[in-house]
Chains A and B, each alone.
Chain A
Amino acid sequence: MAKIIVVTSGKGGVGKTTSAAAIATGLAFKGHKTVVIDFDVGLRNLDLIMGCERRVVYDLINVIQGEAGLNQALIRDKRVENLHILPASQTRDKDALTIEGVERVLDTLSEDFDYIVCDSPAGIERGAQLAMYFADEAVVVTNPEVSSVRDSDRMLGLLSSKTRRAEQGQEPIKEHLLITRYSPDRVTSGDMLNLDDIREILAIPLIGLIPESEAVLRASNQGVPVTHDQQSDAGQAYSDTVDRLLGEDKPLRFHEQQKRGFLSRMFGGGRR
């Protein structure tokens, strides 16, 4: 039986797709058979970030509507063993996603995979609710700003009521807070909320903190999830996150303002 993890946020553009790709990649690196599913029907971003956009033939909706088999739609990652991508459709109508269809796909995938990572669309509508409905765990992606924290709070409310686990009175979804695009400098200058404030408001365990990083941009332009870039701060932070998801105890990094050394001050270098 696979563990189903939804990556969600409410607010758009906070780093859900980046995180879903990075976490799925990290899980596969650790030897777990993983599939990452794009629920963002109509936008289709995950395949770009995973660098497999040219290999898409069939998608989630084709499978749900019975036009293709799962094996035809699943794309095998070229870089990491054990990693598969189930893309979304760019052309189809969102309404083609049905709860029964999603359940069938997840049930089938559950037999073969250890982890199913669901990349949720933004918002709190149908698409986002379908992405979270069958989840066992949720990674709530939050940026250090008031509106993002507010939306994550809203999402946590929905996770505790609008999911199969909640509706059937089973053990609640395990919720994890993932703070992304964190910039200690901007927190210190007061432009952004600090870590403790976010944790206090959302009141769920922190699974990771990803710094604002150029490595993420570079990675998404190259179509290589940032977890591959273990030289980078963001890549390391995502690896830590995956380790914690797997139950390891890892100290928090990248949350404090960097004390710049003499050389980097001289040459204006920052973290890369």
Chain B
Amino acid sequence: MSLELDAEQVAFTFKGGMLPLTVIELASGNIERIEAQLSGKISQSPAFFQHTPVVIGLERLPDEPLALDQLCAMLRRHRLLPVAVRGGNDAIKQSAWALGIGWFPPQEGRAQPVVEPVPVAPLPEEAPPLELRSGRIFRGTVRSGQQVSAPRGDLVVVGAVNAGAEILAAGSIHVYGPLRGRALAGIHGDQDAAVFCHELDAELLSVAGNYKRLEDIPPDLLGKSVQVRMVEDQLEISAFEPLRV
């Protein structure tokens, strides 16, 4: 046996963490309807539904009865892993616990601070505020086979993204150079995310799971400086007009 049994050798330590989690914010308690919509999303971007942990958000239907067990089973069939419920009444809380998943109090609008702290330890003191370190700037060429991601914020690439490369961001993506590979913005479902690039030649563009392949991109937009965003539930690519002086 070793000679010293000091604090270094404890079996575990509690660490504070802020993990990115996708919230499925339900607008309906009808499981068939949820499943129908989900199937569509999954066929669009299967890569993001590989045992992805999700939180079921019930803020928008606080008192509606919900078959939580069936909902969880359905999500698991589609390779999503429900890990907790946020919001809902006491009955929901009890059935979440019975199913072995967690319960978080409802989040009431952004401006209002959450009254009860969520059961995640606070960030360590030395960590800068979340806003300051959630984005990422990558300088250089993203090459075939490489993946660069900003799982919590915007991604800025100062350079080229070559064919066969993939860039991902929870927020928006900005490429100051040619975009020849795959760019996926809003990977946790943020519909307001967008992709901006200097020179469009992308293999795939996606915002919140809505995607267009190179084949679907109007040829007159290729090589242009563009933005890609959701407009009325459609992925729209538009060229920046040259400035007229």
Which A residues have a C-beta under 8 Å from some C-beta of B? Answer: 124, 150-151, 153-154, 156-158, 160, 201, 203
Contact = CB atoms under 8 A, between A and B. Distances in A.
A150 B164 CA distance: 8
Contacts of B162: 150, 153, 201
Contacts of B143: 153-154, 156-157, 160
A124 B164 CA distance: 15
A150 B141 contact: no
Contacts of A153: 143-145, 162-164
B146 A157 contact: yes
A87 to B, nearest CB: 31
Contact of A203 (B141, B144, B146, B164): B141
B160 interface: yes
A150 B144 CA distance: 7
| Top-5 shortest CB links A-B | A157-B143, A153-B144, A154-B144, A154-B145, A157-B146
Contacts of B145: 124, 153-154, 157-158
Interface of B is mostly: loop
Nearest to B177: A203
A154 B165 CA distance: 9
Interface of A is mostly: helix
Interface residues of B, number: 11
A178 B180 CA distance: 23
Given A150-B163, A157-B145, 9 more contacts: A150-B144, A153-B162, A154-B164, A156-B141, A156-B143, A157-B143, A157-B144, A157-B146, A203-B160
Contacts of A150: 144, 162-164
A259 B141 CA distance: 37
Contacts of B141: 156, 203
Q: Which of B143, B145, B160 has the most chain A CB atoms closer than 10 A to its own CB?
A: B143
A201 B201 CA distance: 12
A7 B79 CA distance: 44
Contacts of A201: 160, 162, 180
Q: Which of A153, A158, A201, A203 has the most chain B CB atoms closer than 10 A to its own CB?
A: A153
A160 to B, nearest CB: 8
29 contacts: A124-B145, A150-B144, A150-B162, A150-B163, A150-B164, A151-B144, A153-B143, A153-B144, A153-B145, A153-B162, A153-B163, A153-B164, A154-B143, A154-B144, A154-B164, A156-B141, A156-B143, A157-B143, A157-B144, A157-B145, A157-B146, A158-B145, A160-B143, A201-B160, A201-B162, A201-B180, A203-B141, A203-B159, A203-B160
